[in-house]
């Protein structure tokens, strides 16, 4: 319990991580409270708090008022994915970005889409599909429905020069979203657009975007064969 004299919260965090990693503080164990650690480390309690908060965010400890801080039994590995604009994604890989609008029209959606977008029965929605290219090869197919009540300005856009993906991000604010990843066998039209055989396993995602409780847009992005979504833990 000697004072060590750590200078900043990162040092404290590293020391805490070391103790967890070395099993000096084994999984499930209650660790000393902030005041004790501050004394031991020779710093202010706020500094210890900052460090422990960071470790807690990483999922390695669980903190509860009164109950204290425990080393997590099963550190929940959290992978943070940056969902970038597709163009950015491609350019970061050092490839040339290309874009091609396949279809764009106002439609009266079926009840499934209507339910998802939370539109009225007599609302039209903008439905479009487009292809994103990397080095002139198909990269991803974008199929999108835009709720014109949430994004009325979209009606004035042709989406020929700029993809809906980028236009929406730049022009329509959103507050939250849901995203789901899955695998799907290429349909005949998928295969045609992406230049692969029907039945090929394709990585795809569905994303639903909200502005408050209004649905802005629903999009499905189906990637060309071989796509991998990477993340770090």
- Chain residues binding its own copies by CB under 8 A are 17, 20-23, 27, 59, 73-85, 88, 166, 169-170, 173, 175-185, 199-204, 207, 209, 211, 226-233
Selection from 111, 99, 147 nearest residue 127 by Cα: 147
Kindly tell me which of 52 and 126 has the beta carbon lying closer to DNA: 52
- Backbone φ and ψ for 28, nearest 5 degrees, come out as 90, -15
Instruction: Tell me the closest approach of the beta carbon of residue 83 to DNA, in angstroms.
Output: 23
Among 17, 19, 29, 53, binds DNA (CB under 7 A): 53
Among 20, 25, 60, 69, binds DNA (CB under 7 A): 69
Residue 26: which of 64, 77, 72, 58 has the closest Cα? 72
232 binds, among its own copies, DNA, none (CB under 5 to 8 A by kind): its own copies
Q: How far is the CB of 85 from DNA (least distance, A)?
A: 23
* Closest CB to DNA among residues 37, 219: 37
Token readout for 116 is: 């998802």
> Closer CB to DNA, residue 16 or residue 202?
16
HSE (side-chain half, CA atoms, 13 Å) at 79: 6
User: Which of 4, 46, 81, 160 touches DNA (CB under 7 A)?
Assistant: 46
Sequence-ordered list of residues with C-beta below 8 angstroms from that of 2, at least 6 positions apart, any chain: 40
Residue 75 interface partner, choices its own copies, DNA, none, CB cut-off 5-8 Å depending on type: its own copies
Q: Answer yes or no: are the C-beta atoms of 165 and 86 closer than 8 Å.
A: yes
CB of 219 to DNA, least distance (A): 32
For residues 168 and 154, the answer to whether their CB atoms sit within 8 Å is yes
- From the list DNA, its own copies, none, partner contacted by residue 179 (C-beta under 5 to 8 A by kind): its own copies
Shortest approach of DNA to residue 10 CB, angstroms?
A: 7
Of 9 and 145, which has the nearer Cβ to DNA?
Answer: 9
C-alpha Rg value of the chain to the nearest Å: 24
CA 82-85-86 angle, 5° bins: 110
**Binding status of residue 103 toward DNA by CB under 7 A:** no
The CA-to-CA distance between both ends of the chain, in Å, stands at 32
Distance CA 127, CA 146 (A): 6
49 binds DNA (CB under 7 A): yes
CB of 202 within 8 A of CB of 224?
yes
Residues in touch with DNA (CB under 7 A):
7-10, 33-35, 42-47, 49-50, 52-53, 56, 63-69
């Amino acid at each position: 319990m000697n004072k060590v004299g750590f200078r900043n919260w990162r040092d404290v965090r590293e020391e805490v991580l070391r103790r967890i990693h070395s099993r000096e503080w084994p999984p499930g164990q209650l660790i000393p409270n902030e005041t004790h650690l501050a004394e031991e480390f020779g710093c202010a309690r706020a500094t210890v708090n900052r460090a422990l908060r960071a470790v807690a965010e990483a999922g390695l400890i669980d903190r509860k008022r009164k109950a204290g801080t425990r080393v997590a039994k099963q550190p929940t590995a959290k992978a943070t994915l940056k969902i970038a604009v597709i163009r950015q994604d491609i350019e970061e890989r050092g490839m040339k970005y290309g874009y091609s609008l396949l279809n764009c029209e106002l439609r009266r959606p079926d009840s499934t889409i209507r339910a998802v977008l939370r539109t009225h029965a007599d609302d039209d929605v903008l439905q479009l599909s487009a292809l994103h290219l990397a080095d002139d090869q198909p990269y991803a197919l974008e199929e999108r429905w835009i709720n014109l009540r949430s994004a009325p300005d979209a009606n004035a856009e042709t989406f020929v020069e700029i993809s809906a993906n980028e236009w929406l991000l730049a022009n329509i604010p959103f507050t939250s979203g849901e995203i789901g990843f899955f695998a799907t066998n290429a349909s005949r039209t998928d295969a045609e657009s992406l230049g692969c055989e029907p039945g090929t396993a394709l990585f795809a995602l569905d994303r639903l975007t909200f502005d408050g409780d209004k649905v802005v847009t629903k999009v499905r992005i189906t990637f060309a064969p071989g796509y991998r979504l990477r993340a770090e833990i």
